Structure 1
């Protein structure tokens, strides 16, 4: 749906909507011949809600140059023989540019070529970007009434997008205290009533959709303090012939947030005997 800005820690991630639609269906025989009769198009709205906030993901939350943000929404209605990407396979150059740099021109040309050459892409839709980590953006599209969406989406369908749970402390989404991470975004797909009048607005959006809503509240995720490994021990300091002391230090990787565990001591001393007395 939307993608975090390529300059943020989530650069490279992509949420693309792939909706399959079919052409017209065969009607009743007329004069011994079958003819393709026009079928009404079903109207849908797709709403992307970003929940990437400093409260929900405090570790290394991007605040400057640029801050956390989501790219614009880009999707296509297409037949089953076309896909933008498949799991375990290399993506196209256009999809790579969109995921890594939020540049959509090459991807849109690829979709247009599939529509002209393969007759597989029937329509492309987009919606504005979300300039922060939280907020909503929405778009509307049409699909054939005989498509499976017409039967499987009788009401709003909400899908949560959750970040993976990495095992390395250097990752921006490393929260070992949590069994599962909170959703970073949600996608709502709704079938709209068939009416010649204007589409009803999506929840939280202005009339007609395609607008970005205000920021939404997000749950707080506790972030425990993260420190580095201890440095090596320093030289033993003290008078000759008497017990002395040596010390070592460590520094803070990530400060605690949202009532997370406080930082431990950053300096430690141990007794020693000076070995280089003059």
Structure 2
């Protein structure tokens, strides 16, 4: 029978052995992770019926653009004036001017997801974080709009000592403060001086604005951002290079350690291993953390590229043509003359315009002669 003292001693020894080879906390420079972000949009006529854009162009979203970074980098911030790159993105959807080139100015990874071609839909991409770059910022523009977008600023993915397994955050409409337009299709009218990035609040908008809904206190979320940790990388510093997959999160199996019987000097070997443990061991120059992270990023993207190449290209079904639809004729109007021969007209309205090569709209106006009472003679000609 095991005595309590012996059990406590064994437990202490086991804990000490695990801590000796345990994984570095996410805030350590010896830790990195790959995340997947999904933007789900809910811009529908049911939720936002006022001025809902249906054509030229219909409601849709720009590509999702993001940066993983440290505390020194700011992609956008509510209450601050938008940068020139954010102004260009908020007004046009072009992202080439945005701050934060990969590997510079506090940015670890610059990433991009495909555009969403409808008001409601989703788009997904992956990105990397490490112990020195634990935050993520993302933006996507509403199309059409003057300068409106949704985004998250400096979301922290490292909680305590662990990378967050998942995170969901609602997205509300933000005004970049660069354009005075109040409706989705308003003409371009630059704001001088440029305003600050602020949330669009229905109660502060004038009547006629596309997001003016006076019957509600706060606009419902128009999108949501979903972050999921898909892989975690850890460096184990020891006289033996050891590889340990993630055992602390998501209920994974106990750590499987692999020893690389290599002698080392005063410095230690740095070995990263991705999950699952089936991938081959990756050996990189000792002490060169940047080389390790860059190698992981390249390998991950090459693998995803192969998967995309093997996947058959999705063919979007072509929508059939839509003929123009018009209302019934209105009643004939009054005669243009109160006496003699005049003209009367009737009209009908366009219900839905033709699209995708459909039949054009028929005649919308008709007129015909109308006869009233004979006009009285005001002059009499003499016979002489």
- Scaled by the length of structure 1, what TM-score is found? 0.51
Q: 161, 172, 183: which one pairs with 2:171?
A: 161
SS at match of 1:136: strand
Per-residue CA distance 1:134-160 (angstroms, 9 max, x = gap): 000111111115745232763332111
Change (3 A) 1:141 1:135: same
SS at match of 1:48: strand
In the alignment, structure 1 residue 111 sits paired with structure 2 residue 121 = no
- Which residue in 2 is equivalent to 1:58? 49
For this pair of structures, how many residues does the alignment match?
A: 164
Q: 58, 80, 86: which one pairs with 2:71?
A: 80
In structure 1, distance between residues paired with 2:84 and 2:29:
36
In structure 2, distance between residues paired with 1:95 and 1:179:
28
Q: 117, 123, 144: which one pairs with 1:137?
A: 123
In the alignment, structure 1 residue 181 sits paired with structure 2 residue 219 = yes
Question: After alignment, is 80-89 or 41-50 more displaced?
Answer: 80-89
Q: 142, 157, 160: which one pairs with 1:149?
A: 157
How far off its partner does 1:76 sit? 0.9
Per-residue CA distance 1:39-74 (angstroms, 9 max, x = gap): 242111111101001111111100111111110011
SS at match of 1:103: coil
- Which residue in 1 is equivalent to 2:11? none
Which runs of 5 or more structure 2 residues have no equivalent in the other structure?
A: 1-19, 21-27, 135-155, 174-199, 233-274, 280-298, 301-306, 317-384
In the alignment, structure 1 residue 127 sits paired with structure 2 residue 163 = no
SS at match of 2:33: strand
SS at match of 1:100: helix
In structure 1, distance between residues paired with 2:171 and 2:72:
25
Per-residue CA distance 1:104-131 (angstroms, 9 max, x = gap): 1122xx422x844x4x222200100001
2:68/2:110 contact within 8 Å kept: yes
In structure 2, distance between residues paired with 1:56 and 1:38:
44
2:29/2:131 contact within 8 Å kept: no
1:42/1:150 contact within 8 Å kept: no
In structure 2, distance between residues paired with 1:122 and 1:150:
15
2:31/2:130 contact within 8 Å kept: yes
Change (3 A) 1:80 1:191: same
1:160/1:183 contact within 8 Å kept: yes
Change (3 A) 1:87 1:74: same
- Which residue in 1 is equivalent to 2:345? none
In structure 2, distance between residues paired with 1:150 and 1:82:
17
SS at match of 1:111: coil
Change (3 A) 1:132 1:81: same
Name the Cα RMSD after superposition: 3.2
In structure 1, distance between residues paired with 2:78 and 2:211:
23
Change (3 A) 1:38 1:58: closer
Which runs of 5 or more structure 1 residues have no equivalent in the other structure?
A: 1-27, 29-36, 200-206, 215-278
